[in-house]
A and B are shown apart, each in its own frame.
Chain A
Amino acid sequence: MGAVPHLNELAAELRDDPVQFLLVTDEAPAHVESFLKKRSLPGWIGIDSDRDTFDRYGVDSIPTTFVIDANGKLILRSSPMGLTADLLRRIAERTPTPDPPTPVFIEPESFGERGGWVVDQQVMDLMGSPYVLAHGLGVPVPDCVGTVDLPGPGTYRVWVRTRDWVAPWNAPGAPGRFQVLLDGTPLETVFGTEGEAWHWQDGGTRELKAEVQVSLHDLTGFEGRCDAILLCADTNWEPPHGGEDLARLRTRCTSLGTEPADGGQFDLVVVGGGVAGTSAAITAARLGLQVALIQDRPVLGGNGSSEVRVWPEGHTNQEPYPHVGDVVSELIRDKGPGDGNSRDAHVYDDERKLALARAEPNLRLFLNQRVNAAESSDGHVTAVTAQHTSSGLRTRITGTLFLDSTGDGVLGALVGADYEITPTGHMGASNLWNVAATSKNEFQLRCECDDEGDPLSLAFDQSTTPAPFPRCPWAVDLSERNFPGRQKKTGGGNPLAKLGAWFWESGFDLDPIQDMERVRDLNLRAMYGAWDTLKNVDGQYPNHRLKWAAYIAGKRESRRLMGDVILQGDDFRNLTRFPDAAFPCSWHLDLHFPEPAYHEDSDPFIAGYTHSAEYRYQGPYWAPYRTLYSRNIDNLFMAGRNISVTHEALGAVRVMRTCGMMGEIVGRAASLCIRHEATPREIYSQHLDDLKQLMEERITPALR
């Protein structure tokens, strides 16, 4: 019994682990019992008088030890002295827990026919997947329909992952209601009616054939949402509602579990296809680099696209480097009389930006793909993995240089780049909107156009018929409150122009990453509350309807990645001169905050802006190149609103033409990095004259 002390030590060390000791002997029970009075042994003691267990385990010498995992598998045979607590723990960790049932995991964003439901990828980093949204502006949208193969016919329990999106405000009415139809017949449950958090709502059981048609049927047009549907043959099983367990289930049951496809190797990998990223990609491609441009939407341009509709401000082509801004000027036309915020889709000319990117032979465009994983070591990025926002398929893209132009510092955060974020009192996000006397809203028209394969040709009929709008008790209650656009007896200007303008903004004290769904939803609740008040309280605009509203938020402030220089507000006030002056800023220190005149509750949704003397614009200010690369990730550039600035300086650099010129500078610097095998930092320390030379040159399209 020489192993007894060792076994006792092991058992003591593993006291809190899910480990059971069972010590089996073939000796007489009475003998064993008296032995146990003298010596202490761990665990359970078994007597195998007939030795059948000895034989089954092939035990021919004493002592012999076996380890059996949590699934009843024989893992190893050893002498007791060969076991250590560490080894047993490692075996326990490797043992997969017994497989839960394998449900059919349905992602509606992958359906071939999405009807009027739109794919919302804005919080997919938090959820693991995009969801679909019934963004109908009060008119139920057409069904989202897909066909699903089941393991076989039988009874299935249906779980629908959704939430009541107004529950965070304890608002009544559950506006986002929808049904789920299986083979055309609705489940009895109405979904989207309960729960503040995303969760699986039980849809009961249903007898199904081996192939089933699944439809999401919107009941309201008021932002119902569905992440996923589960069909499970084990009707007693309840799926995990969140966390790691849900992530594992999703990975196990969807295409997320497959190995990423090889997306190729590039000189420069641009993550984020807003104006900054697109300008960088085109510039670098024209300078001979192999470039990947990865964008998580179907269009380029970000806040300047038809999905967000902020008109890009700022001035390009300034002295002494009049060619800085050439690419931005190709992407975005000069501002004309019909151009501005929240206009019709064609104003933002998505096709122009896509065509320019597609014309570059060195540029590979990855649309509808969001980078949500990255590989790095020793402060150096080697690869990113992007997840397709509808198929879920992943693609791994390797590169020499990387650019984070996501606006949120998404790539920087993934690879451990230093960043700052202003937790409260930062600028918010807007979901612009507009109204008009039209017979349909843009989303209804787009659905019809989608069917005909022509989503960009939107035309509106002027309506002379009444357009009733339901009361919205779940929206922000504005019936007794003033808001921009609510007509008073005096006052000038077109009140309709004030609806859905830039100052409809919220999220000032919420986290721009973690709380983003809530921020967007507050913008929507404010819009619906305002329109309800104008239509149903004030009795105005009887023939008007909500024509368009962005469901993609136009964000202003998020993570700011730190570079070798952190540009300050005082640099603008003092006109600090930097030797690496690289892009002209032509906007005042324009910071937004909750507008006190409307700020009556804890959820402000109207912004004011800084316009006193200390924030004024003094003419073009050239900001330094060193704000455009990470101080601790040696091959990571930044461009756009996530560059190395303080909260205050962001107010001046964040306008989109300026962001685009940052991209042009990054494109130039990246070409020098490749030419000289240098890091972004070394372009400043060793090749600054080369960069200045390139800034004097026109960046023309490659000869084709």
Chain B
Amino acid sequence: MRLPPTLLRGAALGLLLCADAPAQRLGHPAPAIDLEHAFQGPNAEAITLESLRGKLLVLEFWATW
């Protein structure tokens, strides 16, 4: 994908833009989300990319440690 100029300016702010591992290429449909449990929101099986259409999703992979 050709990044729009505002995103390139975002990169200049210090973002690490990742290139192209096949399953998670930028500018392409995001890989599916499949969770086993969930808190503070819908049930795990209800959390899908389809159900999040129309919203910007910030997806954070984290740990308690």
Contacts and interface: CB of A to CB of B under 8 A. Distances in A.
Given A24-B35, A29-B37, A46-B44, A88 B62 contact: no
Chain A interface SS verdict (over half): mixed
Given A24-B59, A90-B6, A94-B6, A72 B39 contact: no
Contact of B36 (A3, A48, A72): A48
B53 A43 contact: no
A497 interface: no
Contact of B61 (A7, A32, A54, A76): A54
Interface in A64-83: 64-80, 82-83
Interface stretch (A33-41, A347-355, A438-446): A33-41
A48 B34 contact: yes
A17 B55 CA distance: 9
B31 A53 contact: yes
Interface in B5-29: 6-7, 10, 13-18, 21, 23-29
B38 A67 contact: no
17 contacts: A3-B60, A23-B60, A24-B60, A36-B40, A46-B33, A46-B44, A52-B34, A57-B24, A67-B56, A68-B30, A68-B52, A75-B7, A78-B17, A84-B13, A88-B56, A90-B7, A98-B54
A88 B7 CA distance: 10
Contacts of B10: 76, 87, 90
A261 interface: no
Which 10 A/B pairs are nearest by Cβ-Cβ distance?
A44-B41, A56-B31, A47-B37, A46-B35, A77-B18, A74-B30, A68-B57, A45-B39, A58-B21, A49-B36
B61 A59 contact: yes
Interface residues of A, number: 69
Interface string A1-42: 101000100100000011111111111010111011000010
Given A43-B40, A68-B30, A22 B56 contact: no
A71 B28 CA distance: 10
Chain B interface SS verdict (over half): loop
A689 to B, nearest CB: 52
A98 B63 contact: no
B29 A72 contact: yes
Q: Most chain-B Cβ atoms within 10 A of its Cβ — which of A7, A46, A59, A78?
A: A46
Interface of A: 1, 3, 7, 10, 17-27, 29, 31-33, 35-36, 41, 43-50, 52-59, 62-80, 82-84, 87-88, 90-92, 94-95, 97-98
Contacts of A64: 60-61
Contacts of A62: 61-63
A19 B62 contact: no
Contacts of B62: 1, 3, 23-25, 62-63
Contacts of B29: 72-74
Contact of A56 (B18, B24, B52, B56): B24
A194 to B, nearest CB: 33
Contact of A74 (B16, B27, B35, B52): B27
Nearest to B51: A20
B44 A47 contact: yes
A58 B57 CA distance: 17
A29 B35 CA distance: 11
A37 to B, nearest CB: 11
Nearest to A64: B61
A56 B30 CA distance: 9
A86 to B, nearest CB: 9
Nearest to B52: A20
Contacts of B16: 77-79, 82
Contact of B35 (A18, A19, A53): A53
B43 to A, nearest CB: 10
Contacts of A18: 54-56
A58 B27 CA distance: 16
Contacts of B60: 3, 7, 21-24, 63-66, 80
Contact of B30 (A31, A47, A50, A72): A72
B1 to A, nearest CB: 8
A22 B47 contact: yes
A52 B41 CA distance: 20
B26 A50 contact: no
Given A43-B41, A53-B31, A58-B23, A67 B63 contact: no
Contacts of B53: 70-72, 98
Contacts of A78: 15-17
B24 A58 contact: yes
A76 B25 CA distance: 9
A107 B59 CA distance: 45
Given A18-B54, A46-B37, A56 B17 contact: no
A77 B17 contact: yes
A216 to B, nearest CB: 38
Nearest to B32: A56
Contacts of B44: 46-47
Contact of B59 (A32, A68, A70): A68
A249 to B, nearest CB: 19
B34 A70 contact: no
Contacts of A63: 60-63
A690 to B, nearest CB: 48
